[in-house]
């Protein structure tokens, strides 16, 4: 599947007490669909991915996949600081129904070029 067009990296809405705002999340997803996006990114860097618990990540992604219902691709932010954790998160995202993974160069790590190639190949 080829990606093109407007793909929005979504912010994650939280309540004043710091918990996820599922109603705000649903409004955001519906606004994106109504606005004509060609895809959404869940739990990327603008989605506060580094602060989400596994349960919160799963809840956001599963909710997005259900709401989007195949109308546009759902990209899941899966890039973490270590290769093994990135692979685990990518598998988790696939199991939850994400159509694509957004994998980045590990933040705060300065691998060699060979190390980067090995990370992405893994």
What is the C-alpha separation between 99 and 110, in angstroms, rounded? 29
* CB-count exposure of residue 78 (10 Å: 0-12, 13-18, 19+): buried
Structure token digits, residue 19: 């918990």
Domain ranges for the chain, please list them: 7-121
Q: Could you tell me the pTM of the whole model?
A: 0.90
- Strands laid side by side in the 100-102 sheet: 7-9, 39-42, 74-77, 100-102
CATH number for region 7-121: 3.20.20.70
107-115 average pLDDT score: 84
- pLDDT-derived band at 1 (thresholds 50, 70, 90) equals low
């Amino acid at each position: 599947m080829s990606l093109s067009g407007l793909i929005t990296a979504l912010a994650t809405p939280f309540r004043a007490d710091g918990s996820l705002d599922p109603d705000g999340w649903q409004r955001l997803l519906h606004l994106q669909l109504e606005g004509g996006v060609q895809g959404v990114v869940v739990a990327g860097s603008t989605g506060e991915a580094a602060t989400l618990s596994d349960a919160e990540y799963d809840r956001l992604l599963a909710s997005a996949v259900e709401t989007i219902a195949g109308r546009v691709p759902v990209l899941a932010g899966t890039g973490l600081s270590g290769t093994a954790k990135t692979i685990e998160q990518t598998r988790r995202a696939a199991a939850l129904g994400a159509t694509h993974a957004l994998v980045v160069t590990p933040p705060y790590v300065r691998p060699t070029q060979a190390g980067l190639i090995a990370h992405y190949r893994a």
